[in-house]
Structure 1
Amino acid sequence: MSDKSLVKIKEALLKNKKVLLLVIIGFLGIGLIVLSEFETEKKDTDDNSVCVSEQDYEKTLEKRLEEIISQIDGAGRTIVMVKLYSTEKSEYLKNTQSDFSSDGNEKSEEEYIVVRNGNSEQGVVVKKEYPAVQGVAVVCEGGNIGSVKNDITNAVSSLTGISKNNIAVLKMKYTEEQK
């Protein structure tokens, strides 16, 4: 486009305020669309970084328990193994419609809410439950001392919510390097 054409367009827009307003609104709309696409891509990467695999969850629990238990007086060096029950559970958003017929019977229909994400469709997750802890094994230097064993068992039970029967505290064996 030449400079003369741009000047003519500018003059026409300045004379007709309604057209100028429409052009400005159009550019703002395009800008919002571009920004929303950027936000969607950003959210997708954030969602992926939040997802934790079962193994990562298990390892995180083990590491945190090791950190806590090793601070208990008399525990010493500590190794923890956590066993989980099952996989994580997700609860999805659904739309429920209930109707009552003339004879008093209730008819319910449930439909899951799905959102389109690029080329794929995904359900809207309302609640996510991580797998429950089944059992914990603790091996530590002070695992043979009754009071230390009791303190560790109480701590693990409190932190994981599992029964004390599902917690094993054992003494760590000494290697030649430790003697």
Structure 2
Amino acid sequence: MNGKIKTALIAALAVGGMLLVLFGGSFGTTDEKTEAPSEDGYVATLESELLLLCSSVRGVSKCDIAVTLERGFEYGYDSRGNVVTVKYPRVCGVAVVCGGGDVPQIKKELTDLISSLLGISSNQIAVSGK
């Protein structure tokens, strides 16, 4: 399997995993009070998924990733105080420090990968070498 196909497959699996983590519990109805998600948990999930994805790129090692959010979650409640809608925060920046991050080709590949995965522009992503 060539590198581009493998990278695309890994990216697709990572997106699927993130969607399951983020939206997996939102189907169906229940009378129990729904607990609202936390920003810290959301950021930790994004960072761990990005870490797995970036670490799988050829030439990348020992990644550290930081994600910043534009704002927090926004919630809509029903008359009983249950959370009925959740608007997830938008990512406003990602920083990656990794072995190989100073190589222009790897820097571009990581930037493109993160940009397409999170729907943010390349100027919101910083990649540096260790």
The alignment's TM-score, normalised by the length of structure 1, stands at 0.52
Counterpart residue number, 1:20: none
Residue correspondences, number:
101
- Which structure 1 segments of 5+ residues have no match? 1-38, 93-112, 116-121, 173-179
SS in 1 for 2:37: coil
SS in 2 for 1:114: coil
Matches within 5 A, 1:6-17: none
Tell me, yes or no, if structure 1 residue 130 matches structure 2 residue 88: yes
- Give the Cα separation in 1 of the matches to 2:107 and 2:59: 9
Matches within 5 A, 1:110-149: 113-115=78-80, 122=81, 124-149=82-107
Counterpart residue number, 1:21: none
Q: Which deviations, in whole Å up to 9, do the C-alpha atoms of 1:109-168 show, x marking residues without a partner?
A: xxxx512xxxxxx1x544211111010000010001111111100111111111100100
Please tell me whether Structure 1 or Structure 2 has the larger radius of gyration of its CA atoms.
1
Percent identity of equivalent pairs: 37
Counterpart residue number, 1:55: 40
SS in 2 for 1:77: strand
The 8 Å contact of residues 38 and 73 in structure 2, kept in 1 or not, is answered as: no
Higher relative contact order (CA 8 A, sep 6+): 2
Q: 1:77 aligns with which of 40, 62, 68?
A: 62
- Give the Cα separation in 2 of the matches to 1:114 and 1:91: 10
What letter corresponds to residue 78 of structure 1 in structure 2? C
Runs of 4+ in 1 over 3 A off after TM superposition: none
CA RMSD of the aligned region, Å?
A: 1.8
